[in-house]
Amino acid sequence: MNYFRTAILLAGLTALFMGVGFLVGGQSGAMLALIVAAGMNFFAYWNSDRMVLSMHGAQEVDERAAPDVVRLVRELAQRAGLPMPKVYLMDNPQPNAFATGRNPENAAVAVTTGLLERLNRDEVAGVIAHELAHIRNHDTLIMTITATIAGAISMIAQFGMFFGGSRDNNNGLGLIGTLAMVILAPIAAMIVQMTISRTREYAADNLGGRIAGRPAALASALVKISNAAHVIPNDDAERNPATAHMFIINPLSGQRMDNLFSTHPAVENRIAALDALAREMGQDGVSGGVADGGFTQGSHYAGGTSAAGPRSQSGRGPWG
């Protein structure tokens, strides 16, 4: 159902895009709009992952620099049937994470230091599994395409403001019609884009809960991340708000209800869905709690050590 809904929404966004192009320049305008979108998507397909990682100061880490995180990603990727993605660490106090990459073979998972400091191992596993679910579902590519098309619609609508529609297409827009298109078309595109984003978040929660095997742990992580996002600023995200939809929780603000302009579903709704999944899997509901331990409070894994001291001689790390 999620795939079908996404396909319908993408088709609607494309139809809106072509319609705006037609209103601005007739058949030639629609064709030009298609060419522009294709060029933008081609650029985004090959470069968006590097651009986003750079915007957030993400640094690639390996098993020597961050052994526990890399091993956990590898374990979960194997469970998900995915190639091992690259692992990035963002020096940011706000707990959060995102995935990027044009396909599973060229994917990356980025987590903040705040995520590793504030969540336990089961919760971190749930978050990483959620991001791997995005990769397996090809959501990173879907969201890149939708963001590009939505941006192109806004750009073409602005052209319409200057040209007032093609004189040879007899569309009769006039000044009022042109103003309505300039205002309403980008809003409609944004609504569709946000709806697609919310749909993909629910799907990633479901698959991520199954990959990690602990839906309640993912639900607990969502609560902690959402609460922290209210009080811990993410300066990089504030400077690049267009990337907010990529994170597991909106890094800009804590939306408490689903609405037309929210990039993420309400946390309460996501927890309810994860609770249903836990019971379907024969586990206690989310209210049953999550086992503590793992990534301990105050630990910092960029260097493979924690605040409590270096890893044990056994090399098993602070999880014991």
Instruction: Give the active site residues.
Output: 131
Query: Alpha-carbon distance 301 to 320, whole Å?
Result: 15
CA 191 to chain centre: 16
Distances (CA, A) of 142 to 7, 199, 300, 302: 10, 12, 33, 31
97-101 vs 59-61, strand pairing mode: unpaired
Long-range contacts of 152-155 (CB under 8 A, 24+ apart): 152/17, 152/33, 152/36, 152/37, 152/40, 153/13, 153/16, 153/17, 153/20, 153/185, 153/186, 153/189, 154/185, 154/186, 154/189, 155/36
Query: Alpha-carbon distance 54 to 58, whole Å?
Result: 6
